[in-house]
Structure 1
């Protein structure tokens, strides 16, 4: 595959992930709450991933001695961050949530330093400061449609913080011999098992026997897009390398904002656009250079 084709794949995959931002906003638009959404997202993902693994003749069993690992990934990779993300999506524009999700590498770097798995450079420090200034611009009184929305920005930031922790944990201690697809399948299965009683006990369970509308279709589409894009992303890492594939973060943020404008007719103030540019610039400074390595 040529470099041009690789960038094309990167754009398609990033656009797919980007559309899940407005889909989340649509999913919560009529009152659905996080645990009910998380259960169906995970359940649909388990079925889709399971079928893919069966077709590929890959194992779908979960090694008992690694159940703790699947549980950990389910908690910090899905249950906790998605609970915050869906709650933030109720109150914040989807495009703003997309911008805040791009904080993952900025939050991951200081965690990596603390774990001793990355090295300090002045350029990366500048990246963190630049991204921090972007967040400050985002919480200006005039940046959001309603100044009260500022209170939900920290809630939205909790999700990328969880993803940053997850990435560093995997980078530090690995996946215990499991492939990324196996990890995602196992974590999704454990996540669905945990989310179901939470959804039922809190009254957030979503009964599929209802009049289907945009929220219901958004839940299914988001889950299927995630499985398809994740599978493609793992393939892209194997073909083009993790440093090249990491650039998908820019595409996800940009297309997340664009999809939100198209599907939700969202419009943003100059503060939001300035914040996005600063956060993306900070992300570019923090990302590993070509000669450095990323965790698989």
Structure 2
């Protein structure tokens, strides 16, 4: 009986974990953590956790030229760039709005697939792209949708994070992964991201060293790494048990949970424009998500 409901349990847990990550990031940065430093240390902690898990399963990392290329390219698009953009934008935007921008990832992924001629035009899904664009306009255009007009560039920077993740999705779908499973890819991505972020944080003098005993910043980093590791592992297990189509629907839970946690932890309240934007984005996500039955769509 439990096995039957396990994918749904994973879906709820993943959504709540990824949803709270927006608030955890704000807490760590508001406590004095630098965005680039948090991105670096999160990659380090996640690397240690994933590498320990991989070695415990007796599946050592593959370190050939092809694998290293995958780690560094996908690590830059999937962790280093979006992490830096996201954490830079986090202090300037409510956690709920950050959660809404993440819903752009599948919409932008389909948009890129159309541009690169990897997908055929399906008008239902093109309509989803238009809904996604409309949702962002509903956040940018009205005066009352954001805390201030100065937050608009930070909103667009958060959207760059989603665009980078969309590029990662395209590459993961197109590339062959020689001798690699999803957990080892995630481990290699985090190690590569840490290697790339280290010189950047040093050059910008934004690298901080953990203090003992741990304070808010350090526990925030550990929390973000644990969230990423546990939720990603659940995602892989959900794909294995229920398929990628079912697993992809976690985006709905993430967005709703992100808004919920922002309200609970920060007392955030949103204008009507934000709620309309969220509804519009969720409709866009529903339209873009592939249907199980048709190759034409």
- Shared fold, TM over 0.5: yes
Cα distance, 1:141 vs structure 2: 1.2
CA contact (8 A) 1:117 1:172 kept: no
1:137-162 residue CA offsets vs partner (Å, 9 max, x unmatched): 11121111222212211111000100
Once the two structures are TM-superposed, the CA of residue 175 in structure 1 deviates from its matched residue by 2.5
What is the rounded CA distance, in whole Å, between the counterparts of 1:271 and 1:177 in structure 2? 47
**Could you list the runs of 4 or more consecutive aligned residues of structure 1 that deviate by over 6 angstroms after TM superposition?**
none
Secondary structure, counterpart of 2:32 in structure 1: coil
Where in structure 2 are the equivalents of 1:40-119 lying within 5 Å? 40-119=41-120
3-state SS of the aligned residue for 2:178?
Answer: coil
Paired residue secondary structure (2:206) = coil
CA deviation vs aligned residue, 1:36-69 (integer Å, no higher than 9, x gap): 1111101101110011111111113422332121
RMSD: 1.6
Q: 1:252 aligns with which of 242, 246, 254?
A: 254
Q: CA deviation at 1:205?
A: 0.9
CA distance in structure 2 between the partners assigned to 1:131 and 1:61 by the alignment: 38
The match for 2:132 is 131
**Partner in structure 2 of residue 228 of structure 1:** 230
1: CA distance, partners of 2:244 / 2:284: 19
Work out whether 1:191 is the aligned partner of 2:193: yes
Distance 1:91 1:207, change over 3 A: same
* Residue of structure 1 equivalent to 2:152: 150
1:167 to 166, 169, 181: 169
What does residue 36 of structure 1 align with? Answer: 37
Q: What are the superposed Cα offsets for residues 186-217 of structure 1, whole Å, 9 maximum, x if unpaired?
A: 11111112222222222111111367432221
Scaled by the length of structure 1, the TM-score of the pair is 0.94
Asked if the contact 1:39–1:192 (Cα under 8 Å) also holds between the matched residues in 2, the reply is yes
Aligned residues: 293
Instruction: State the alpha-carbon separation in 2 of the partners of residues 246 and 274 from structure 1.
Output: 22
Counterpart CA distance in 1 for 2:96 and 2:153 is 16
Q: What is the TM-score when the length of structure 2 is the normalising length?
A: 0.94
Partner of 1:279: 281
**Runs of 5+ unmatched residues, structure 1:** none
